[in-house]
């Protein structure tokens, strides 16, 4: 997934910029340079806001994964993210990593961090693991575990992060902001920094994959996230650049994002989607080869055909310079690729307000006023 300036507020890095640039190039050439594979939807935690829905179908076997890796490598995949559920529940994970390494992918692992065997950590570099993304929900066990609902999970996750840092592995902590922890977001950032990791602040909660709105009960109302956006902008200025670099004509000609053009997501059951938040089934690798799906899926063709100009409301929107369009979120929220998500519009209005507060009312991001 590309860096989002929505509620996913990431520390900037050269590698992220390089990835963004690669996605742009791959989008033009329709090369699936970035693939996310969910290895299982089983998990050892019971996070209150989880949007994953395990099914009765079997997870892809190691042999099926081997065939898939060869196919996506053949189509030009360079970056492979392995996610879940919890990937460390798969007993064959070392074999999967070995195979990914053999195919030459740069690997990113997404995990809750509470199940990583210490003996696995030194091997991660050998497997070309470029980054491990770990989710954290609090700066104390009490806050974190009010979300994970598993006693002891905070200590295990933090211990794994420390071990991986000691082994020189790049970690990004996803600080997921919910009603349970919004009052601690600054302390959560302090903890991530004390652990020597990069971080992002993510306040966007998604519906469950089966359409249930249950996770949204934990979503902080957008208006109450203004402090988080302001804090991020003062720490990592980004909105100013977005505003200054924005050009309506160029923007209208572009595509909303790399979903289905440079990236896709594959479920543990082999279902292929344009991206992890866009619930539009393009095909299943148990029924067709990946290449057949990538080259011929009608769903992918529909997603690829959209230009920002086609998005009626967005095309004339005054907030557009502060917006990172997410057609996946539109599909999730409205069932439409082209109708804007109201959540995204509300968060973009906050971006504009924070921009005006910091840059047009006499302040400066270099002179924090907190």
Residues that bind ligand SF4 (CB under 6 A): 1-2, 257-259, 275, 277-278, 313-314, 317, 319-320, 323, 325-329, 340, 344-345, 348
Q: 93 vs 323, which CB is nearer to ligand SF4?
A: 323
Smallest gap, in angstroms, from Cβ of residue 260 to ligand SF4? 8
Closer to ligand SF4 by Cβ: residue 116 or 278:
278
| Six token digits for residue 192 | 């991530």
Report whether 35 contacts 263 (CB < 8 A): yes
Smallest gap, in angstroms, from Cβ of residue 299 to ligand SF4?
13
Nearer to ligand SF4, 212 or 336 (CB): 336
Nearer to ligand SF4, 256 or 270 (CB): 256
Find the shortest distance in angstroms from Cβ 39 to ligand SF4: 20
- State how far the Cα of 280 lies from the Cα of 328, in Å rounded to an integer: 9
As to burial, measured by CB atoms within 10 angstroms (0-12 exposed, 13-18 middle, 19+ buried), residue 199 is: buried
Please, are residues 327 and 335 in contact by the beta-carbon 8 Å criterion? no
Of all residues in this chain, which one has the CB nearest to ligand SF4 in the complex? Answer: 328
Of residues 76 and 363, the one with the C-beta less far from ligand SF4? 76
Q: What b/e sequence results for 42-78 when a residue is b if at least 16 CB atoms lie within 10 Å of its CB, and e otherwise?
A: ebbbebbbbbbeeeeeebbeeeebbebbebbbebebb
Residue 258 CB, shortest distance to ligand SF4, in Å, is 6
**Whole-number Å distance between alpha carbons of 294 and 132:** 27
Decide whether 47 or 314 has the Cβ nearer to ligand SF4.
314
Shortest reach from residue 192's CB to ligand SF4, in Å? 22
Tokens of 335: 């069932």
Orientation of helix 62-74 relative to helix 93-102, angle to 10°: 20
CB of 86 to ligand SF4, least distance (A): 21
> Distance between CA atoms of 194 and 171, rounded to whole angstroms?
12
Distance between CA atoms of residues 50 and 147, nearest Å: 10
């Amino acid at each position: 997934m590309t860096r989002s300036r929505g509620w996913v507020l990431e520390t900037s890095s050269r590698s992220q910029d390089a990835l963004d640039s690669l996605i742009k190039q791959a989008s033009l050439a329709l090369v699936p340079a970035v693939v996310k594979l969910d290895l299982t939807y089983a998990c050892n935690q019971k996070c209150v806001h989880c949007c994953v829905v395990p099914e009765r179908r079997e997870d892809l076997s190691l042999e099926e994964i081997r065939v898939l890796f060869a196919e996506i490598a053949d189509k030009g995949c360079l970056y492979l993210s392995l996610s879940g559920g919890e990937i460390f529940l798969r007993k064959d994970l070392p074999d999967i990593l070995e195979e990914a390494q053999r195919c030459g992918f740069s690997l990113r692992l997404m995990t809750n961090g509470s199940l990583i065997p210490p003996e696995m950590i030194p091997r991660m570099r050998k497997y070309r693991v470029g980054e491990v993304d770990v989710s954290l929900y609090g700066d104390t066990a009490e806050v974190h575990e009010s979300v994970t609902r598993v006693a002891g999970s905070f200590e295990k996750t933090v211990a794994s992060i420390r071990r991986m840092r000691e082994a020189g592995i790049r970690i990004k902590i996803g600080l997921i902001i919910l009603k349970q922890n919004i009052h601690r977001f600054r302390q959560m950032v302090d903890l991530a920094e004390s652990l020597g990791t990069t971080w992002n602040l993510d306040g966007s909660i998604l519906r469950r994959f089966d359409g249930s709105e249950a996770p949204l009960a934990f979503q902080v109302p957008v208006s109450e996230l203004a402090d988080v956006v302001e804090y991020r902008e003062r720490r990592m200025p980004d909105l100013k650049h977005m505003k200054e670099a924005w050009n309506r004509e160029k923007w209208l000609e572009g595509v909303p994002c790399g979903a289905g053009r440079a990236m896709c997501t594959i479920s543990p059951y082999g279902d292929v989607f344009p991206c992890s938040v866009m619930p539009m089934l393009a095909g299943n690798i148990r029924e067709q080869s990946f290449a057949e799906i990538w080259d011929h899926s009608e769903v992918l063709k529909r997603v690829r055909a959209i230009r920002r100009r086609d998005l009626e409301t967005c095309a004339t929107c005054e907030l557009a310079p502060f917006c990172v369009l997410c057609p996946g979120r539109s599909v999730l929220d409205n069932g439409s690729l082209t109708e804007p998500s109201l959540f995204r519009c509300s968060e973009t209005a906050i971006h504009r307000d924070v921009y005006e507060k910091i840059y047009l009312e006499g302040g400066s991001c270099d002179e924090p006023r907190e």
